[in-house]
């Protein structure tokens, strides 16, 4: 009996062991599903990570190429999206995610922020193992942004309006060249403010405009509206030198002004300004003190056109050039100084503020026939004055030391020969030009596009 009991007990234990093994198998099978999922997730993630890395690299390269094309003017804003997709498609070759949608966002540069292009890529990879966990796809996204500093131009056109420019068609040649040049500058501007231009007509003085009569940077202690001579006896000059000089020019040469100025109304002023005291005549120092201010003058041959401060009003710029006339003696330094001042964000001309997010090229272009004949102190107002040339060399050295580029263009339709000072004042030998023909040469100044 006991044997039978023992045999039954053994049979039941074996059966129970068999049941236990089945339970283990079932449990293992159930546990294997997440195990495969987790291991497979690592495989799928590795594939996705590779695809995303390749997407990011392609986006980074594409956005750099798009930004370069935009900055150099190769493409327009309307072509950004198509160009970006073309660049990306040529760079991205991952077969696991063959379709990637690329979106673009372009932000125009402002006075305080640079231009930017943002490319975003979106796609999905089909999973091999994670589908077991209910994730048949893994979305992939990447973004790349490129920004660049706007390369902006600020150019002062310093234009000779003196009497000698009336000879040999020189003024007409100057107007033609300057107008053509302005047209090219306008073409460079993709948006308003990319290119600013000032116009500084000069003779022995410059005309700052009678609207500035109340400006605190003017001084009136050598101004006489009676000008050169006694109106009752026009053959008698107020200056004891016998020359036809203004009050400031007479005293500047050490002569005596034989006229009682009195207290005339400044409303009689014609807008003329002469050289300020040395050495401020060669410096850009702001007129914060009386000695630094600019002398109101009354030269009867003051340029008919007043200075146009930096602007992108192309109509105003061209109108000023068109209205220029030729009269008076030649004082290139005063034109250069005011051209320099027009580029500065300070009194008296207060150029528009510059953004730290942009790169600026500051340029002065001097158009002249190349013969200085007088300023407030020197010259007979007819023949070349070496003393005025020497003041001009000092001024040019000071301008170039600040990083401003100077182009000097000599209008020599009379074939008078090379100026003694203009090549010196140019930033380098490649920035001095001779214009000898009417059909010349707007292309010669395209180098400013560098």
Q: Where are the domains of the chain?
A: 2-148, 151-223+269-449
What span, in angstroms and rounded, lies between the C-alpha atoms of 240 and 242? 5
Q: What are phi and psi of 116, to 5 degrees?
A: -135, 150
Name the pLDDT band for 448 (thresholds 50, 70, 90): very low
Report yes or no: 121 and 141 within 8 Å, Cβ to Cβ.
yes
Percent of the chain with pLDDT over 70: 85
Instruction: Collect all residues with Cβ–Cβ distance below 8 Å to 216 and sequence separation of at least 6.
Output: 347
CA 111, distance to chain mean position in Å, is 11
pLDDT tens for each residue of 208-264: 999 999 999 999 999 999 888 877 777 788 999 877 899 999 999 999 999 999 999
How many Cβ atoms are within 10 Å of 126's Cβ, its own excluded? Answer: 13
Tokens at 123, concatenated: 């796609």
What span, in angstroms and rounded, lies between the C-alpha atoms of 131 and 199? 72
Tokens at 399, concatenated: 């301008």
CA 84, distance to chain mean position in Å, is 26
For domain 151-223+269-449, the question of CATH label 3.40.50.410 is answered with yes
Q: What are phi and psi of 265, to 5 degrees?
A: -75, 135
Q: What are phi and psi of 335, to 5 degrees?
A: -65, -45
Report yes or no: 36 and 122 within 8 Å, Cβ to Cβ.
no
Report yes or no: 364 and 156 within 8 Å, Cβ to Cβ.
yes
What span, in angstroms and rounded, lies between the C-alpha atoms of 66 and 146? 9
Instruction: Collect all residues with Cβ–Cβ distance below 8 Å to 329 and sequence separation of at least 6.
Output: 162, 163, 203, 204, 301, 373, 374, 379, 381, 382
> In whole numbers, what is the pLDDT of the chain averaged over residues?
86
Instruction: Collect all residues with Cβ–Cβ distance below 8 Å to 15 and sequence separation of at least 6.
Output: none
What span, in angstroms and rounded, lies between the C-alpha atoms of 248 and 257? 9
Question: Does position 449 have pLDDT exceeding 60, yes or no?
Answer: no
Please state the pTM of the whole predicted model.
Answer: 0.74
DSSP 296: B
Mean pLDDT calculated for residue range 172-189: 92
């Amino acid at each position: 009996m006991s044997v039978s009991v023992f045999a039954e007990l053994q049979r039941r234990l074996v059966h129970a062991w068999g049941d236990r093994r089945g339970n283990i198998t079932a449990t293992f099978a159930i546990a294997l599903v997440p195990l495969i999922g987790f291991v497979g997730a690592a495989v799928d993630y590795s594939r996705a990570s590779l695809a995303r890395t390749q997407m990011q690299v392609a986006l980074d390269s594409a956005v750099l190429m798009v930004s370069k094309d935009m900055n150099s003017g190769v493409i327009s804003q309307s072509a950004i999206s198509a160009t970006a997709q073309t660049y990306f498609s040529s760079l991205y070759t991952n077969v696991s995610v063959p379709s990637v949608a690329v979106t673009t966002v372009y932000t125009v540069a402002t006075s305080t922020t640079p231009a930017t292009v943002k490319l975003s890529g979106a796609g999905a990879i089909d999973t091999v193992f994670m589908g077991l966990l209910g994730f048949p796809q893994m979305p992939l996204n990447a973004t790349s942004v490129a920004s660049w500093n706007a390369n902006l131009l600020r150019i002062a056109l310093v234009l000779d309006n003196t009497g000698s420019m009336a000879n040999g068609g020189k003024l007409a040649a100057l107007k033609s060249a300057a107008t053509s040049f302005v047209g090219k500058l306008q073409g460079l501007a993709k948006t308003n403010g990319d290119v600013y231009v000032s116009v500084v007509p000069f003779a022995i003085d410059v005309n700052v405009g009678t609207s500035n009569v109340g400006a605190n940077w003017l001084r009136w202690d050598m101004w006489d509206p009676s000008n050169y001579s006694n109106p009752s006896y026009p053959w008698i000059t107020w200056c004891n030198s016998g020359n036809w000089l203004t009050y400031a020019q007479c005293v500047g040469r050490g002569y005596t002004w034989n006229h009682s100025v009195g207290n005339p109304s400044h409303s009689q002023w014609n807008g003329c300004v002469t050289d300020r005291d040395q050495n401020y005549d060669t410096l850009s120092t702001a007129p914060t003190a009386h000695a630094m201010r600019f002398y109101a003058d009354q030269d009867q041959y003051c340029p008919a056109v007043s200075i146009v401060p930096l602007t992108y009003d192309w109509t105003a710029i061209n109108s000023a050039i068109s209205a220029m006339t030729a009269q008076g003696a030649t004082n290139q330094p005063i034109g250069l100084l005011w051209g320099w001042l027009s580029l500065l964000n300070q009194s008296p001309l207060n150029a528009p503020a510059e953004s730290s997010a942009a790169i600026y090229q500051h340029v002065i272009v001097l158009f002249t026939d190349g013969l200085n004949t007088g300023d407030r102190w020197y010259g007979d107002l007819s023949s070349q004055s070496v003393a005025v040339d020497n003041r001009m060399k000092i001024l040019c050295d000071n301008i170039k030391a600040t990083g401003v580029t100077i182009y000097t263009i000599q209008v020599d339709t009379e074939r008078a020969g090379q100026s003694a000072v203009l090549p010196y004042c140019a930033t380098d030998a490649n920035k001095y030009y001779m214009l000898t023909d009417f059909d010349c040469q707007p292309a010669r100044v395209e180098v400013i596009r560098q």
